[in-house]
Amino acid sequence: MPEVITLGETMVMFSPETGGPLRGVRRFEKRLAGAESNTAIGLVRLGHSCGWISRVGDDEFGRFLVESIGGEGVDVSQVIFDHTAPTGIMFKELHSGSETRVTYYRKGSAASRLGPEDMDPDYFQNARLVHVSGITPMISPECRAAFFTMLDLAEKLGIPLSFDPNLRLKLGSAADYAALIREVLPRTAVFLPGLAESRSIFGESGPEALLDLFQSLGAQITALKLGAEGAWVADGDNHFQIPGFPTVQVADPVGAGDAFAAGFLAGYLEGEPFEECGRMACAMGALAVTTPGDYEGLPLRPEFDAWLKEQIQ
């Protein structure tokens, strides 16, 4: 059984070969995109076992997702092929600079039918961590029920919870996310918000004020992502500011937050001090953006350790 269990929708992503509005794009590259599966792949590459729970369509796109994610070493034994609904797809649109827009076709997808009945309690028996994002409960009522069933199982079994809000305003409003965060944080061991999304949700502007807010709402550990500037990490008693790695060449910013989560959670599982967890998280986020694609730039553990050692010398 895996150390870490996550759940959520992964979609087939079509990435354009040229920039500009989609109406002018003629050629696309097929990839996969999913916040939770990205983090799972990152954890596996760092040497930890991880399982992904989801539904995909019983179609070629669904088989592509399961074969790709399973091929990365993530356990996909709990993924259900749904013959009554399609696999969700999305199209990326590239604009000037690093701006990226995404169009989703996920309504009625197989993953939107993920429900409490898809959670096998036996699968969680030996888990050391459960990781979820705020995307899943916003997809559908069924997904929301699955999300909280997973939280209930983790709580019953004494498994720590990791929670990344992953704000998606196409799925829910800032008020919806604020309510979700307030409901989940009392059950959260590791909270992984971004500064920009936290400001959008709560209106607070300063990192330290946000850290204090999240601790007051119940988070045991908060790692606040600042992008290229690094992160702030707080455990209730201490606040640490972690510098980023701004010298990396950015090829694609999407997936950096999921990589950050993988780095932090790897350190957490290894018993590293929270400051070191934050350093590992920032390093993974930096490496993720150097290659096009949501997870393709994530390093294997020997590469990661060598790169990080070189950066801090």
Name the residues annotated as catalytic: 258
Residue 175, C-beta contacts closer than 8 angstroms, at least 6 positions apart: none
Nearest C-alpha neighbor of 209 from the set 188, 224, 189, 221: 224
Q: 42 by DSSP, 3-state: which?
A: helix
- CA gap 170, 143 in Å, rounded: 16
What H or E segment, with its residue span, contains residue 143?
helix 141-157
Nearest to 153 by CA among 116, 189, 179, 181: 116
Residue type for 64, please?
F
CA pair distance 174, 255, nearest whole angstrom: 21
